[in-house]
Amino acid sequence: MKKLITYNVNGIRSAISKGWLNWIQGTAPDIICLQEIKALQSQLNLADFSGYHHYWFSAGKKGYSGVAIISKQKPDKVVTGCGFNDEEGRVIRADYGDVSVISVYMPSGTSGDERQAFKMQWLAKFQAYIDNLKRERPKLIISGDYNICHKPIDIHNPVSNANSSGFLPEERAWLGNFMDSGFIDSFRYFNKEPHNYTWWSFRANARAKNLGWRIDYHLVSKPLEKNLKRAEILPHAVHSDHCPVLLEMEF
């Protein structure tokens, strides 16, 4: 059994200051996909990650974005970037035999029209990148912060958020098409219940009231369907405005 965690930590140093390392020790995942690390490897105490191999892909801009994969097993190969907008540090891939794990931090469009347009362009390029990668590596687990709620069940107030970035019709259509291109939403595969979220605004006591959005996913390619065992959102981990999502797979 392999236990994978995806977690947008909203600053790895901030998360560590809130007890994240103890939480990881207690949870003991095999692979951790991180997003928004907001740090360079040189700014971290690498002794904190003993027992794990760790691979970092930071953004060019300090204190911004960045992804990582932390793994008990040494991957056969690690690839940073995806060939476009790599200065933003959004994609890192680790290969284990014939299975590839990707940690992805998709752009947000909340800061305005320009970034929203950038987001849609980025999503189109990412689809093309994955379509191409799938020919060579069909067994993919793409874990991370997609910055999109797929369906009304995935957001606390779909009506008032109908025009909000992260729940726009074109974003939701992209995510639906991406899943239809050969991916399983592993959480929904096991859980059809509402009120399951992975991100809450810091405003208006949103987390305490569970007024959230489900924007963090483990999408698993169809050839791995038989390996799926369990998926769960872990809202009691409070090192970030996101919470971790767990995926268990049998290999």
Catalytic annotation, residues: 145
165 touches 120 (CB < 8 A): no
Instruction: Round to whole Å and give the CA distance between 93 and 82.
Output: 9
Element (H, E) at 132: helix 113-136
What residues are paired with 69 via a beta bridge?
33, 55
Question: At 154, is the secondary structure helix, strand, or coil?
Answer: helix
- Which residue, 54, 20, 59, 55, is CA-closest to 39? 59
Q: How far apart are CA 184 and CA 200, in angstroms?
A: 24
Q: How far apart are CA 48 and CA 45, in angstroms?
A: 6
Q: What is the DSSP pairing of strand 31-35 with strand 2-8?
A: parallel
Q: Give the position of tokens 């992805």.
A: 104
The backbone torsions φ and ψ at residue 27, rounded to the nearest 5 degrees and listed phi first, read -80, -35
